[in-house]
Structure 1
Amino acid sequence: MARRRPNGAGTITKRSDGRYQAAVYVPQPDGTIKRKFAYGKTYDECDDKRRKLIERAQNGVPTPTRDMTMSDWFEYWLTYIVKPSLSDGSHRTYESAVRLHLRPRLGRKVMLKLGVKELRAVMTKLAEDKGAKTARHAHRVLKASLTAAMVEDIGLTRNVAKLVHVRASTDSGKSWDAVKVLRFLAEARRRTVYYPALLLIPLLGLRRAEICGLRWENIDLDKRVLWVEQQRQRTSAGTIDVETKTETSRAPLPLPAQCIAPLRWQRMRTAWLRERALSSGRPWTDDPDGHVFVTRTGQPLQADCLYQTVQRVTRSAGLGKMNPKGLRKSCGTLLVHLRVHPRIVKAVLRHSRISTTLDIYAEALDPDVIEAVGQLDLLLRQPDRLDRLQTVTAEEDEQPD
């Protein structure tokens, strides 16, 4: 027998199968009000679920129901699950995939009625229209969204996205051999004052956001150690330093010998720019965080600026197109060229999963990491190696098959 409650507090009834059923009117992501049902084996269990639904409604948090559309679910997922728990960059990536690809094709579908055959047709059409890689990315976002929906007590019992496969190339981008990396670094030394920053990408595999977020407190030039502890990201609060994406990304790395002098020069250049600006009345912004790489006005270097610098140097060297991500991949390619064990490559590049490196699971020892980076430093340190490597490459090309 149902117990009477005040208006808006919901009801609890006992079903014919012995379970208890709570019914509460809750707000939806689209702004409407719908009745939400929750079930429990005992009265207390069902009442606890009722109280949680009432609390969510009072706090203005919408509660998804069984008949909600994919568009409503995407809105709820991005607002209440992705945004509070993931980085702004991840939120922008997910939101873009939903807005451009998923909502136009799946937005009107009722989530619980989405079938494998229907979804496979949508993904196939998306691959034909936008390309296989775009379809694969949208498929990953959809799979993550439906996985979250299974936890929300909506009634979703399977993730249909896991039953649909989207074929796409697994190529993560091109990389350079030692000859091209040496040509790039030689050109960077002549063309840009940010040569020390560009040097850290192929030697240590640093990401551009990590380079822009690097602080002097993270570098010990005497002991030749560099700590990666934050990255500079564009967020809703502006461009700020945030923690690295994973624990694996925060790691100490041995600083190659050829990086010491350029980094010392970078410190002296920043001090000279500051003194010149203050003495001549030019604009200058003191950086309280002490970033290693700053602009002429003292502000921390932005990732977009570093990207454009890489493009200018690459074009000037006649090397075609390359971005910092491909230059970082070149670090791993050169380590493989030196026959470094995959687990050491994983430690240098700080991948969260060894499968990202070479599908081999192991942990790297610190001495091995130091030795590996030392070998890479030796390979890229001597300018005369450029001519020798080019000669060897030319001779190999001229040999008949």
Structure 2
Amino acid sequence: MTQTSPETSPEMSQVLMIARSIAGETGHTMLTRLVESLSQYLDTAFVAVTYAEGTPPTHARALYALRDQQAAEGIRYALDGTPCARVYAGETLTVPCGIADLYPREAGLEGYIGIPLRAADGTVLGHLAVFSDTPITRSEVATAIATIFALRAEAELRRLAGEADRKRLIADLTRLNTRLQRGYADLRRESAQKTGLMGLIAHDLRRPLSALMSQAELGLARCAAATPDIARVSAAFTKVVANADRMSHLIDATLDRARAEGEALTLSPQPCDLPGLVRIAAEANRDDAARKSIALAVTPSPAIPATLDETLVISAIDNLISNAVKYTAPGGTVDVTVETDTVADTATIAVTDTGQGLTPDDLDRAFGRFQTLSARPTGGEGSTGLGLANVREIARAHGGTVCAESDGPGKGSRFSLTLPLLANTR
């Protein structure tokens, strides 16, 4: 008795035929070829690759479908009362005949094969549906073949979904980058205004300070005379007191203005993805880190929906990362993480480096304005002493906090910014 080898069996020949028809194809072409080839092999009345609508799924919409060997478009149907509902629940279902007896909506049809198509996390994102108007012979073989090519369709759907996610991410990053650039332009304008203010203050302080010093020197000289002229000494020191008083009032006025500006920091909160903001800030520092051979790593994090002022938060994170790069020696590392506290409904962005570390005195003064700490930039970078103070102000404006930690000089440091996921807009 002659046996048919697996390589030459009709089923294997059909498998090879279908495999060749979709070899090297991707995207819409691959799925179209798959549906066409499967339809020819199983002699189907209707075959389709669908995706789910609704959570949980209530409808199926066909990406590609053939009805009686002809392309069919605009196919969408409710899952209730169909065998497809069981497939969307995760079951591989084969009904060789009598499908209409079980599901009256399928009147006029006989056989059915349904195979779920899953996303990477295991959820059902679509299915391969095959209907025939005659009983399906050798249903186990037919189901096995359909399953092989359902897996190929599943992989393709995952690829298409990943591509769509990538395009959405690029669009989001482009949008956020545009906002970041606008925000930086505003910050540069504000910085220029503050620089001008500081120049004006320095100019206004120079004259009373110069007069104070000259009158003090004159008074000291007259005090050292063999016969001090008390009246002139008194007049000189009266002028010293007057100029010192003038300087004191100027400084008080400057501090009042600074406080008013601090209180005027307003937020423009809007929905955003916090890890997306972290990635933007990290990318802004990627080149600086590379120039110093510093490994800058951002620990992957799932999406964290938040309502924050994107520009200010990116600026704060950028300050923390740029400081870490600035004070870390070439060859070091900077790690950025994002963690959430579901109880407090907050998220913490932490930047940890292997840099110069901080003294206890540094930790006490780290977030003050114009503070010079013990660490020095390792690549000749400049420092204004304002970056960490700005981070603190941004954190406070959102109702959050910022803190610094270090085990001491030479042992690196960790700066963490904790923000409520819903900004305080009062």
| TM-score of the two chains, using structure 1 as the length reference | 0.24
Q: Which protein has the larger Cα radius of gyration, Structure 1 or Structure 2? A: 2
| TM-score of the two chains, using structure 2 as the length reference | 0.23
Higher relative contact order (CA 8 A, sep 6+): 1
